[in-house]
Amino acid sequence: MPKDATFDGKLLVSPQSVLIAVLTVASLLSVGAQIFPYPWLTTSRIMSLVVFLTAIAILGAVLTNWKPAVGRWFTILALSLTVHLCGWWLHFPGSLVLAVIPTAFAAILIGLSAAAVTASGESLLVLWLAQMPGAVPDPATTPAALLAIWVIFAAVFAAFYGIRQEARWFADYFAQAQGRLEEARAHRADLMQTLDDLAHANRQLALMNHRVIALQRIAEEAQKAKTSFVARVSHEFRTPLNMIIGLTDLIVEKPEIYDASLSPRMRDALRIVHRNSQHLSDMVNDVLDLSRLETDHLVLHRERLALQEIVEVAVEAVRPLLESKKLALCIEIEEDVPEVYCDRTRIEQVVLNLLSNATRYTDQGQITIGATRRAQTVCVRVTDTGQGIAPADRERIFEPFAQGTSSIWRDKGGSGLGLSISKQFIELHGGRIWVESREGIGTTFAFELPISSPIDNLENATGLGHQVPEEWLWHERRSRPKLPDSHFRPRIVVCDETGDLCTVLHHFSDDIELVETRKRIEAAAALQQAPAHALLLNLSSLAELHSWVGTIPKESKGTPIIGCSVPRSLGHARARGLLGQIIKPITRTDVAHTLQSLGTSVKRVLVVDDGPDEVALLCQMLWAYDASLEIVTAQNGKEALERLHANPPDLMLLDIVMPEMDGWQVLEAMADSDEIPKTPTFFVSAQDPYERPPRSSFMALATEEGLSLTQLLRCSLAVSDLLLQPDGTPDPTPG
């Protein structure tokens, strides 16, 4: 049924069907007249009626094809005319009763309204014919004909009313079903789209899960490496730092021990050494504490202690600083504060750290330290009258190496570890620490400690089960003979014209045999000498890779050719005008070699460093080499560019790590600007800036016969799996 089809409750038939029935009746009349002759029927009348009915049927079919509505009304009129002609012309007895036929057919051809019109017209026609003499064979049948007409109309009306109600009900349900069908189709389309989106999301989730696992592995390995490195280096730093601090202290305070007298400049220099060494020692201690906390190697030695004793020890330690800054100290410890179950050393360290911070960041006013009891805890508060902490810094103040963003915080020094370590010490005791501050008014650091250790923390305090993590798995020992290294070490032939790549790769893996070659002939000879897992080429462009495929010797056909592009490590920096670098700690010999390497007379030197002590040290060394040197200093990159533009020096000693603009940015700005003279530059840094591991801009794979689709898929999965793993040592036995 068409999409816009509707039901109007009419039981309609085609006019052609009625006309065919008329022809059938005409045929039956002609046949019946031959078989059963009637005195009132003659052959001529029968044939005339047949011709008449045939003409009516043909005309009705033509009108119906032209206009269906006209054809239907013509059919009704033709039926009415036929009925009455039968009675008048054929003298058919009881012909008036046949007047019900047009009414009945009007209902099924057009509808009830047409049936009512036809019934009314037939009634009037029957009454008119009954009054005309000889118009009907039997006028006495007029009442019966009228009754039959309206009885038929009533019957048709009753039948059509029920059909109309059922048709409306069917139409309503059909419309609802059609709407539900459209909704079902829309839902099915949405469901298919959702299933497709779900499948896509599932693939993305699987890939993301794989990457998360790889990142977790990277984080775990990095954490282990960092902790191990920090602990080892920090312990190695302690002995020389103690020597430096002790010797410089003796030289400054007791120079007569060495039978020497110190000039004021020498004494100031030694004090700078002593102060920086002491600061470095404090940082080493903080880093060691942090590494112990991260690895859960810190053991608390708890005992019952009075907070009064801990506060007094911390106050005595910071009293000289308080007196030097003329700050008042107020101690407010309530009498009912009980003893706490804690580690004396760690809590003293926390209180001392809070008091030291408060003293450092307060220029006038007073420092207040107090202790009160709160139910089952003791609260300690350290309040200062300093500049306060910005809201943005309060959220990160307890993070490692976090300091305030304002210059007030940075100018006071510090490593940024004290508050982080204090927070972890307090949390190890089952307490909490927080900060309250208002800018321009002051800051309060407070912490709470439980009076007694909670029962549920006793197991953790004793360390039971701490050495066995929950994710520990048993690995079965494999027993198999060990083969010589030459039997399973992968072999890679490296062809690199620069000669740097193979040397660098040796630092990343000792489990792979790397064969160094410089030219194609050498690489082909190395492949002929022994099979290799791959031929690694260091190319300047990807287009060179295709020309190498035909150079593989016949004995090594099928060897994968891997192309990469690893630039030389010093190329970019030297292209920007860098002449070299000086690695800290700097000696007078390093300064002398730097000045002599220029080959020209140096009269003016620009020293760029954000550390005043480093600037002073470099100036002293330069003057020690040549007292006539003119030395200009800058504290950051922007100031250095201004000095270069105003009066270019003969040499610039440039620090790398600086605020606002670092050394790399200064070098780029000097190279890109035509207004700034290209000054000979040496980097000054505590770490070699060129120790960054080199990287390849691309990786390409080629073989003589090409890669099949199966190999392509396997290589894609293998490479993606390797790239998602931590960037570390390759597997000694790759599959």
516: in domain: yes
Are 556 and 577 part of one and the same domain? no
pLDDT of 409 = 47
pLDDT at residue 232 is higher than 80: no
Q: In this structure, how many other beta carbons lie within 10 angstroms of the beta carbon of residue 661?
A: 17
Residue 325 is given by DSSP the state T
From 418, 446, 461, the end of a domain falls on 461
Residues 437, 311, single domain; the answer is: yes
If asked whether residues 131 and 31 sit together in one domain, one would say yes
Summarize pLDDT for 414-437 with one digit per residue, the tens.
556 788 888 888 988 889 999 998
pLDDT of 380 strictly over 90 = yes
Indicate whether 63 and 117 sit together in one domain: yes
Dihedral sign for Cα 144, 150, 154, 157, please: positive
Range(s) of the domain holding residue 555: 487-567+702-724
Looking at the fold, whether 621 and 643 belong to one and the same domain comes out as yes
**Bigger pLDDT: 476 or 195?**
195
In a 13 Å sphere around the CA of 310, the CA atoms on its Cβ side amount to 27
Indicate the average pLDDT of the chain.
Answer: 76
Residue 270: how many CB atoms within 10 A of its CB?
19
DSSP secondary structure code for residue 688 in this structure: -
Does 370 share its domain with 505? no
Question: Is 265 within a domain?
Answer: no
Domain boundary among 422, 443, 461: 461
Query: Which CATH number is 707's domain given?
Result: 3.40.50
**Long-range contacts, 65-74 (Cβ 8 Å, 24+):** 68/15, 71/15, 72/15, 72/109, 72/110, 72/114, 73/110, 73/114, 74/15
Kindly indicate the confidence band of residue 545, based on its pLDDT and cuts at 50, 70 and 90: confident
Does position 628 have pLDDT exceeding 70, yes or no?
A: yes
Query: Where is pLDDT greater, at 2 or 504?
Result: 504
pLDDT of residue 169: 86
Q: What pLDDT was estimated at residue 439?
A: 84
Least confident segment among 3-7, 135-139, 592-596: 3-7
Total number of domains constituting the chain = 4
Q: Which residues of 207-223 are buried (b: 16+ CB within 10 A; e: fewer)?
A: eeeeeeebeeeeeeeee
CB 54 within 8 A of CB 46: no
How much of the chain, in percent, has pLDDT values that exceed 90? 9
**Quick check: 55 and 23 in contact, CB under 8 A?**
no
Is 211 a member of any domain? no
Q: 393-402, 466-475, 659-668 — which one is most confidently predicted on average? A: 659-668
**Cα–Cα separations (whole angstroms), residue 119 to 94, 127, 151, 153, 496:** 18, 12, 10, 7, 111
Highest mean pLDDT among 301-310, 361-370, 389-398: 361-370
Q: Would you say residue 457 lies in a domain?
A: yes
**Is the CA virtual torsion 481, 482, 487, 493 positive or negative?**
positive
**If you average pLDDT over residues 126-150, what whole number do you get?**
71
Q: Tell me if 197 is assigned to some domain.
A: no
594-617 average pLDDT score: 85
Between 688-692, 703-707, 713-717, the lowest mean confidence (pLDDT) is in 688-692
Residue 264: what pLDDT? 83
Q: Is 553 exposed, middle or buried (0-12, 13-18, 19+ CB in 10 A)?
A: middle
Q: What is the CATH number of the domain that holds 635?
A: 3.40.50.2300
Q: Is the pLDDT of residue 447 over 60?
A: yes
* pLDDT attached to residue 633: 92
**Cβ contact 564:655 at 8 Å:** no
| Beta-bridge partner residues of 682 | 580, 653
Region 266-278: what's the mean pLDDT?
Answer: 79
> Structure tokens of 306?
């009075």
> Do 662 and 633 fall within a single domain?
yes
Candidates 147, 160, 149, 155; CA nearest to 83 is 149
Is the residue at 697 inside a domain? no
Model confidence at 495: pLDDT above 70: yes
Same domain, 589 and 718: no
Residue 694 lies in a domain: no
Residue 446 in this model has a pLDDT that exceeds 90:
yes
Q: Do 449 and 311 reside in the same domain of the chain?
A: yes
The pLDDT of residue 565 is 82
Q: How many residues does the chain have?
A: 735
What does the DSSP 8-state code read for residue 14?
Answer: -
Alpha carbon distance 561, 548 (integer Å)? 8
Tell me if 414 is assigned to some domain.
yes
> Could you tell me which residues come within 8 angstroms of residue 461 by beta carbon, excluding any fewer than 6 positions away?
300, 302, 453
Average pLDDT over residues 11-18: 66
Same domain, 309 and 450: yes
User: Over 60: is that where the pLDDT of 403 sits?
Assistant: no
Q: Do 135 and 34 fall into the same domain?
A: yes
Domain boundary among the residues 163, 197, 214 is at: 163
CATH number for the domain that contains residue 437: 3.30.565.10
Q: Are residues 343 and 369 in the same domain?
A: yes
- Residue 7 pLDDT > 60, yes or no? no
pLDDT value at residue 554: 66
Of 380-394, 454-468, 576-590, least confident by mean pLDDT is 454-468
Q: What does the pLDDT average to over 57-76?
A: 79
> How does residue 459 score in pLDDT terms, banded at 50, 70 and 90?
very low
Chain segment 568-600, per-residue pLDDT in tens: 555 455 656 778 888 765 667 778 888 888 878
